[in-house]
Amino acid sequence: MGPLAPYEIISENTNFLLAFFIGIAFGWVLESSGFSSSRKLAGIFYGYDTVVLKVFFTGAITAMLGLLFMSLFGWIDLDLVYVNPTYLTSAIIGGVVMGAGFIMGGFCPGTSFCGAAIGKIDAMVFVGGLFIGVYGFAFTYPWWEKMYMAKYLGEPKVSEKLGMSDGLFGLLLIIVALGMFIVAEWAEKKWPREEY
Amino acid sequence: MMKPLKLLALFVIPLGIIIAAVPPDRVKHFRLTADELLQEAGAGVQFISPDVVADMLVQKDPSLRLIDVRTPEEFDAYHMDGAINIPLSSLLSDEYTDILHQDAYMNVFYSNGSVYANQAWMITRQLGYENNFVLEGGLNYWFGNILSPEAPSLTSPNEEFAKYDFRKSAAAALGGGGVVATDNVAPAVKAVRPPVMSKAKKKPSGGC
C-alpha cells in the first residue's frame, strides 16, 4: 500500500502538509533534546558530548528497521521509495564543506533553524551564512556544473555493493552502531567537560 | 548512562537478527505473468512524456539515457542528442544486456512513432528488467511539438500557455528549428527552469 504519495493514496499537497507537521515535530524534539546549543553539537568533535552521534544513528537504525519490516509485511514497496542519487565527487566535497561548517559554526542546517527560532544570535548568523552559500552556489552554478554532476553512480545501496541481503547489512549496521555508542560513552568519560 | 544503551540493544539486536534471517525479496517476481504485463501495458506505465525528457535534456540530467531502437542507417541520418543505437533486431544480443538490465540510468526507448519502442519495452519488461521507458509519441511528436511547438489559441487555458512557454525555451536550448522564425522575441539563450513539469520521482529530501 505504501509509499503513500507515489501510489496516490494521498496527494502531493497532503504529503507536503504532513511533511510540515512532521518537520515541526522534528524541530521541537531537536530543541527539547538540547540540539539548539552549538556547544552540545560541537561536543561530538571533541568527545565531551556525543549525543549527536547517538541520536542520529538511533534514528537511522530505527527508520531502517521500520522500513525493512514494513517491506517484509508488504506494507511498502521499497523500490518506489525515493533514494537520493549518488554523485560521488559532489558527495565527498559537500561532506567536507558541511563537516567544516559544522565544526566552525557549531550547527548543522536543521539545528541552526532550531537555535534561530529560540532567538540565539549565533544561530541566526549561521542561517544568514547558509543563505549566502545557497545563493552563491546557485548563481555560480555553471562553474560547478561539471564537478557537480561528476561520477554519477545511480542509486546504489551498500548492501548491493557488498553482495549481501538488505537484512544482513541491517544487522551489521546495528552492531556497528551499538559498538560506536559504547566508544562514544567511553569518550564522554575520558574527555569530560563540566559546563557547556 | 549504560542503561538506555542496554535497553536499546535489547530491542534492536533481536529485530536485526530476524530481518537478517528472512529471505530477501520473497515477493519479487523475475518474470511478469502475461496478465501483469497486459495490465502494465494497458495502464501505460512505460510512457514518459516528451516534456519530462526535454526537461532532463535541458538540465543535462546524467541519469537519462536515450536509446534509439531504429536501424543503424536511420540512426546515422538523425538521432537525438546523446542517444545510443540499439536496433530492435539486436535487442537481445549479449553486448546490450548491461545497458538494458541495470538500475543506475533511466533508459528511454524511442523510434519514429512509438510502436518499435513499445516492442523493445515489452521484451525487456518480460525479462524482468526495470528502468526502461518509452518516449511517448516518438520522434514524430518530438519534432512536431517539442522542437517546434505551436502557439495555443488565445482562449486556451493557462496550462497550455505554460506548456508552450516551457517547450519554446526547451526547443531553444535543444537547438530546435521553427521557433526563432515564428517568434520575434530573442530566444532565451540559457534554458529557463521549466515551470510546469513535475518529475515523478523528485521529492524534497531532508537531512540533519
pLDDT in tens, B136-173: 888 888 888 888 888 888 888 888 888 888 888 888 87
d(C-alpha A8, C-alpha A2), whole Å: 9
Per-residue CA distances from B174 to B143, B170, B187 (Å): 11, 6, 11
Q: What is the rounded average pLDDT of the residues B176-199?
A: 43
- pLDDT value at position B154? 80
Identify the band that residue A134 occupies on the pLDDT scale cut at 50, 70 and 90.
Answer: very high
d(C-alpha B189, C-alpha B149), whole Å: 17
A contacts of B173 (beta carbons < 8 Å)? none
Domain count across chain B: 2
> Is residue B22 a part of any domain in this protein?
no
A contacts of B201 (beta carbons < 8 Å)? 6, 82
- Among chain A residues, the shortest Cα distance to B206 is held by A110
> Is residue A168 a part of any domain in this protein?
no
A contacts of B29 (beta carbons < 8 Å)? none
> Is residue B72 a part of any domain in this protein?
yes
d(C-alpha B67, C-alpha B199), whole Å: 20
Q: Which residues of B sit within 8 Å Cβ distance of A?
A: 1-2, 5, 8-9, 12-13, 15-17, 19-24, 27, 60, 62-63, 102-105, 130, 198, 200-208
> Is residue A109 a part of any domain in this protein?
yes
Q: Which residues of A sit within 8 Å Cβ distance of B?
A: 5-6, 12, 19, 23, 56, 58, 61-62, 65, 68-69, 72, 74, 79, 82, 84-85, 87, 108-111, 145, 149, 152-156, 165-168, 170-171, 174-175, 178, 181-182, 185, 188
Say yes or no: B112 and B83 in one domain: yes
Say yes or no: B66 and B122 in one domain: yes
On the question of pLDDT at A116 being above 90, the answer is yes
Among candidate residues B82, B110, B142, the one where a domain is terminated: B142
Tell me, rounded to whole angstroms, the distance of Cα A188 from its chain centroid: 22
Domain count across chain A: 1
Per-residue CA distances from B25 to A78, A165, B97 (Å): 10, 9, 22
Q: Do B204 and A149 touch (CB under 8 A)?
A: no
- pLDDT value at position B31? 60
Q: Among A156-160, B70-74, B131-135, which is the least confidently predicted range? A: A156-160
Q: Do A167 and B19 touch (CB under 8 A)?
A: yes
Cell numbers for B172, please give them.
Answer: 531553444
Q: What is the rounded average pLDDT of the residues A63-86?
A: 85
On the question of pLDDT at B180 being above 80, the answer is no
Say yes or no: B99 and B153 in one domain: no
The 10 Å Cβ neighbour count of residue A74 is 11
- pLDDT value at position B153? 82
| Distance to chain A for B59, nearest Cα, Å | 10
Say yes or no: B169 and B99 in one domain: no
- pLDDT value at position B26? 53
Say yes or no: B127 and B155 in one domain: no
pLDDT in tens, A25-38: 999 988 888 888 88
CB A82 within 8 A of CB A4: no
Q: What phi and psi values does residue B172 have, to the nearest 5 degrees?
A: -65, -40
CATH number at residue B46: 3.40.250.10
Q: Which of A19, A58, A149 sits opposite B8 (nearest CB)?
A: A58
Full domain range(s) for residue B116: 34-142
Among candidate residues B142, B169, B201, the one where a domain is terminated: B142
Q: What phi and psi values does residue A47 have, to the nearest 5 degrees?
A: 95, -10
Per-residue CA distances from A34 to A41, A55, A62, B160 (Å): 9, 11, 21, 51
What pTM did the predictor assign? 0.57
What value of ipTM does the predicted structure carry?
Answer: 0.74
- pLDDT value at position A20? 95
> Is residue B60 a part of any domain in this protein?
yes
| Distance to chain B for A172, nearest Cα, Å | 8
d(C-alpha A4, C-alpha A17), whole Å: 13
SS (H, E, C) A16-37: HHHHHHHHHHHHHHHHHCCCCC
- pLDDT value at position A128? 95
Per-residue CA distances from B172 to A9, B141, B153, B168 (Å): 38, 17, 21, 6
